[in-house]
C-alpha cells in the first residue's frame, strides 16, 4: 500500500504540465485477442444490439481484458480506467482475490434461490450490516440499482401508508418504467407516462443553483461562501422542498425522499453543507422516510466515510446500493430497519437470483479487499492529491469552470471560458477523444454532457494521478490552440 499514498508540495505540481509521458509501469501482460474483428463487431452491433446503445467515441474502444486499474484493447493497447465501468469496478478489474473466491465457490454451489438456506448469504449479510450505523440491519439482496430503488419505493409506501415520492432535479436512480419517473434527468426520460405521485424538488447546486452555496470539498465555486459548518444557503433550498410539500402533496402524506449523497450521472453535483440532513428531518416530520441512494457513492469511495450519507451527518431509513458492491458482478442490496421490513410482510416475497451463492461470495470478497487493502484510506489520500492537482490545472485553463467532489468521486465541468455556460457537446467530445487517444478512459455526464467524471477503481496510485494530470494538461492545451 505504500506506493498508493503520498503528499506533494503544490509548487511542484505545475512541473508536470509539460505534455503526456508514458503510462505508469504495469507488469501484467494480456492474453492474445481471439474475438471477432472490429469490422464484425460493428456489423453485429448494427444488426443485433439496440440502437439506443451508442458509441461514446468516434473511434470506439474494443476492450479485451482488464487488470486492476488497467484495461487492454484488442490490439494490446493499455488504458488507465478512470471510470470503472460507470463507477462499478471498486477494487480493481479481475482482482485476484475476488476471482479466487468466485472460482472456489463456483465449484461448490452456484444457485439455490434464497428460499433455501446456504452459508454464503449469512456470512455476507452479517459482514455487510456491520458497516452500517444504528438500526440499519435488515438486508435484501438483489441484482441491480434499478431493482433496489424499485424495492425501496415499495418499502417506503408500505411502511408509511403514503404514496408520494420525491427526488431531486438532476438525479439518476435507474431505468425502468417507475424509476424513469424517479430519475429527474431529461435525456433518460422516454415520452411515455410514468406512475403518478413522483415529484422533483429543486436541485441545491452550488454552481448553477439560484443561491449557490459551499460544499464539503477542497474545491469551491469561485466567489462562494465558506461557512465553517452548515452552509447559510442550505435553508433556502430546504424551504423550496417545503414549498413542494405544502403545495403539491397531501398534508403530512409523503412516503419517501430519495437522494444520492453526491449526484453521479449529473456530473458529481454536491449539495450545500447541511442540506441533506435538514431535508431528511423535514421529510420525516411530514410522514416520510429518507432513502439514501449509495449506488455510486458507497463502499469507501468518499474516503472520509464508508457511506456517502455519513459525510452529511445523517442516518437514512433505507439505503440502496449496487455497482461497486460486486466490483462488476451483478449484485445490489437494500438495507433498512426491521420495523420497515416488517411492513413488507403483507405479501409473499422472494428474489430468484438475489443473494445466490456466487453473488454473496463476491460481495463478501469485495468487502474483505476494501478492508485489508485499506482502499477507503487510499480513496481519501489519493482523492485529495487528485483534487489538489485538478485545482492547479483549473488555474491554468479557463475552460475548466468547476472542479468538485470528494475522495475518488470527482468531476471537472467544462465551460465557455469566462462564463458558466456549458462547453458545447462537440467541443467536449473532442477533448474526450483526445484523452482516450492518450491512454485514459474517463466518464462524461451532467445536464449538458459537459462534465468529465473521474470515478476510478479505488486501487489507483499517485503515479496514475500524475499521468492523468499530464494527459489532461496536454488535452486542454491542444484544445486551446484551436
DSSP conformation letters of 134-203: TT--EEEEES-HHHHHHHHHHHHHHHH---EEEEETT-----SHHHHHH---GGG--SS---SSEEEEPP
pTM of the model: 0.94
Does 18 have pLDDT greater than 60? no
From residue 223, alpha-carbon distances to 37, 183, 206, 211, 411 in Å are: 52, 31, 11, 12, 19
Backbone angles phi, psi at 26, to 5 degrees: -150, 120
From residue 67, alpha-carbon distances to 36, 328, 369, 386 in Å are: 21, 13, 15, 22
State the DSSP H helix or E strand holding residue 104, giving kind and residue range, or none if neither: helix 96-106
Go through the domains of the chain in sequence order and give each one's CATH number. Answer: 2-94+374-480 (3.90.1150.10), 99-372 (3.40.640.10)
Strand boundaries in 225-308, DSSP class E = 254-260, 289-293
**What is the average pLDDT across 269-294?**
98
Does 110 have pLDDT greater than 80? yes
Does 15 have pLDDT greater than 50? no
Minimal CA–CA distance to 339: which of 157, 475, 138?
138
pLDDT in tens, 23-54: 999 999 999 999 999 999 999 999 999 999 98
Q: Using DSSP, state whether 210 is helix, strand or coil.
A: coil
Those residues with Cβ within 8 angstroms of residue 461's Cβ, 6 or more apart along the chain or in another chain:
3, 4, 24, 69, 382
Does 156 have pLDDT greater than 50? yes
**What is the average pLDDT across 274-278?**
98
Task: Give pLDDT, residue 6.
Answer: 35
Whose grid coordinates read 437514512?
A: 316
Amino acid at each position: 500500500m505504500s506506493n498508493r499514498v503520498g503528499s506533494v508540495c503544490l509548487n511542484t505540481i505545475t512541473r508536470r504540465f509539460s505534455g503526456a509521458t508514458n503510462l505508469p509501469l504495469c507488469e501484467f501482460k494480456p492474453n492474445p485477442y481471439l474475438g471477432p474483428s472490429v469490422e464484425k463487431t460493428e456489423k453485429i452491433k448494427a444488426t443485433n444490439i439496440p440502437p439506443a446503445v451508442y458509441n461514446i467515441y468516434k473511434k470506439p474502444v474494443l476492450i479485451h481484458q482488464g487488470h486492476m486499474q488497467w484495461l487492454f484493447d484488442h490490439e494490446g493497447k493499455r488504458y488507465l480506467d478512470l471510470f470503472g465501468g460507470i463507477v462499478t469496478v471498486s477494487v480493481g478489474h479481475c482482482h485476484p482475490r475476488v476471482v479466487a473466491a468466485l472460482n472456489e465457490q463456483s465449484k461448490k454451489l452456484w444457485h439455490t434461490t434464497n428460499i433455501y438456506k446456504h452459508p454464503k448469504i449469512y456470512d455476507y449479510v452479517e459482514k455487510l450490516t456491520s458497516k452500517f450505523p444504528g438500526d440499519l440491519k435488515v438486508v435484501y439482496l438483489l441484482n441491480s440499482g434499478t431493482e433496489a430503488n424499485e424495492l425501496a419505493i415499495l418499502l417506503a409506501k408500505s411502511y408509511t401508508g403514503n404514496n408520494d415520492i420525491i427526488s431531486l432535479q438532476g438525479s439518476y436512480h435507474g431505468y425502468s418504467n417507475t424509476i424513469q419517473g424517479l430519475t429527474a434527468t431529461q435525456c433518460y426520460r422516454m415520452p411515455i407516462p410514468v406512475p403518478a405521485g413522483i415529484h422533483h424538488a429543486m436541485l441545491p447546486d452550488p454552481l448553477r443553483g439560484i443561491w449557490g452555496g459551499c460544499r464539503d470539498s477542497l474545491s469551491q465555486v469561485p466567489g462562494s461562501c465558506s461557512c465553517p459548518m452548515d452552509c447559510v444557503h442550505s435553508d433556502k433550498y430546504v424551504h423550496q422542498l417545503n414549498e413542494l410539500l405544502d403545495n403539491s402533496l397531501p398534508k403530512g402524506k409523503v412516503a419517501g425522499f430519495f437522494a444520492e449523497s453526491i449526484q453521479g450521472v449529473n456530473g458529481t453535483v454536491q449539495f450545500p453543507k447541511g442540506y441533506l440532513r435538514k431535508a431528511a428531518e423535514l421529510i420525516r416530520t411530514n410522514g416520510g422516510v429518507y432513502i439514501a441512494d449509495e449506488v455510486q457513492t458507497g463502499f469507501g469511495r468518499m474516503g472520509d466515510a464508508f457511506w456517502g450519507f455519513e459525510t452529511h451527518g445523517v442516518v437514512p431509513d433505507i439505503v440502496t446500493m449496487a455497482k461497486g458492491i460486486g466490483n462488476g458482478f451483478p449484485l445490489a442490496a437494500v438495507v433498512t430497519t426491521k420495523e420497515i421490513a416488517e411492513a413488507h410482510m403483507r405479501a409473499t416475497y422472494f428474489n430468484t437470483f438475489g443473494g445466490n451463492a456466487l453473488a454473496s461470495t463476491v460481495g463478501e470478497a469485495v468487502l474483505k479487499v476494501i478492508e485489508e487493502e485499506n482502499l477507503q484510506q487510499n480513496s481519501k489520500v489519493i482523492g485529495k492529491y487528485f483534487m489538489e492537482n485538478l485545482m492547479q490545472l483549473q488555474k491554468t485553463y479557463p475552460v475548466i469552470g468547476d472542479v468538485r467532489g470528494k475522495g475518488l468521486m470527482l468531476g471537472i465541468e467544462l465551460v465557455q471560458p469566462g462564463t458558466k455556460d456549458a462547453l458545447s457537446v462537440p467541443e467536449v467530445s473532442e477533448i474526450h477523444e483526445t484523452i482516450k487517444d492518450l491512454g485514459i478512459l474517463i466518464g462524461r455526464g451532467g445536464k449538458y454532457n459537459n462534465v468529465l467524471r473521474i470515478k476510478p477503481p479505488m486501487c489507483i496510485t499517485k503515479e496514475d494521478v500524475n499521468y492523468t494530470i499530464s494527459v489532461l494538461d496536454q488535452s486542454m492545451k491542444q484544445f486551446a490552440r484551436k
